[in-house]
Amino acid sequence: MKLDKGVGLVETKYETVAVPPNDLQLECGTRFGPVTVAYETYGELNDRGDNCILVLHALTGDAHVAGWHSEEDRKPGWWHDLIGPGRALDTGKYFVVCSNVLGGCYGTTGPPSINPDTGKFYGPDFPVITIRDMVKVQYLLLKKLGVKHIKAAIGGSMGGMQVLEWAMMYPGMLDAVIPIATSGRLSAQCIAFNAVQRQAILMDPEYKEGRYEPGKGPCRGLALARQIGTITYKSDESWAFKFGRTFSSLREEDYYCFDGKFEVENYLDYQGEKLVKRFDANSYLYLTKAMDLHDISRGRGNYSKVFSRFRGKVLTIGISSDFLYPKHYQEEIYRYFKDNGAESYYWELESPYGHDAFLIEFDKMSRKIGQFMATIS
C-alpha cells in the first residue's frame, strides 16, 4: 500500500462469508447464502486481532472510504480526510475496515447478484433484509479476517443504524461506538420520505416488476427518488447559500417559459442522473425498506432500557441543521446510553449543510473524533 498524505492506493477485496449455501439465517426467516462481501481495509491488524475500527456506510455509500483505486483516477474515498496515518482514524495504530452492505450493488450480494439456484439476477426475488442482517454479515466477515475485538464502530445515517445494532448484537466485542446523524428507530417522517422515493421507482414503466435488464431499468424513477432524497439531505440555509433564486438562463424571455429552470432544479437533475449511473434501483428499494424496519428495541423490550446492552464508551454526534434526523434523536441516544450505565457523550456539529454535513465537515469532525479515540485504551 502506498501512503501519500494519508491513505494512497487501495483495492477492493472480496470474501465469501456464509458457507455452505443457505447458512445465513435472515430475520425474515429465510436461510440464505453463500454471501460475497466486498470490502476495503487500511492499516494492519495486530497479532492480538484487537485494533480494528469498523466504518459503516450510508444508503448509497460503499466500502471505498479512503484512498484511491488507481493513479489515473484520484477520486478519494468518501471519508478520506478522516483516515490515514496521524488522522482521526489513525492507520498507524488501527486496522480500519469498511464493507459494502448486504443488499447493495457494489460487490456484496444483493438484488443485482446472480442467484446460484437459477443462474439469473435475484432482482425482486431477493429476500427482505434488515439492518441486523447487514451487521450479522459484517460480523462473519470480521471473523474471517481474524478480528477478535473492535476498538470502535463508526458511521452516519444508515451507517449509524448499523453502529447501534453492533452495540446491541455484539456488545462485548466493542470498546466504543460513534453513531452520527441517526436514530435508534426510524421516524414516521423518514419512513414517509422513503415510501415516496420507492413509489417513484415502482411507478416507472421501465421497472417491469423488478426484472429489468442489467444496465437499464427505471432510470427516471430512480433519478426522481434521488432528487427527493437530496432535498432531505440539505438545509434551507445551504440551499439559499448555494443557489438562492438564481435562474439558469440569462435571457429575459426564458424566464416565462414553462420549462425554464432555476439552478437548484438543474442541481437536482444532476444528482438524479449521477446516481442512475452508479446504483441499482432494486438495491435502493431494499435498503430503504431495511431502514424503515430499523428499531433497536424490536423484540428486545422497552426502547429506553435496551441501551443497557452496551456499557462501553459512546460518542453521539448530532448536526445542528439536520432536517432528516433532527438532533433530538441523537440527544436521545446519548441520554439513554448514559442512563443505562454507558460512558456516553454528545457533541453537536454546528453546520449549515444539513444531514450531509457528516460527509462535508471533515476538519471539525476530525478534531472531535480524534479526541474521543485518544480516550480509548
- List the catalytic residues: 157, 322, 355
129: buried, middle or exposed (CB in 10 Å: 19+, 13-18, 0-12)?
buried
Contact 166, 142 (CB under 8 A): no
Residue 36 phi, psi dihedral angles, 5° rounding: -95, 135
Cell readout for 169 is 448484537
Residue 349 DSSP SS3: strand
CA angle 66, 229, 35 (to 5 degrees): 55
Q: Residue for cell digits 438564481?
A: 246
Q: Which residues contact 60 (CB under 8 A, 6 or more apart)?
A: 226, 275, 278, 279, 284
How does strand 343-349 pair with strand 313-319?
Answer: parallel
349: buried, middle or exposed (CB in 10 Å: 19+, 13-18, 0-12)?
buried
Separation CA 307–CA 326 (nearest Å) = 20
Separation CA 304–CA 184 (nearest Å) = 10
Separation CA 331–CA 316 (nearest Å) = 8
Of all helices (H) and strands (E), which one includes residue 179? strand 174-180
Q: How far is CA 249 from CA 223, 257, 260, 270, 286, in A?
A: 23, 11, 8, 17, 39
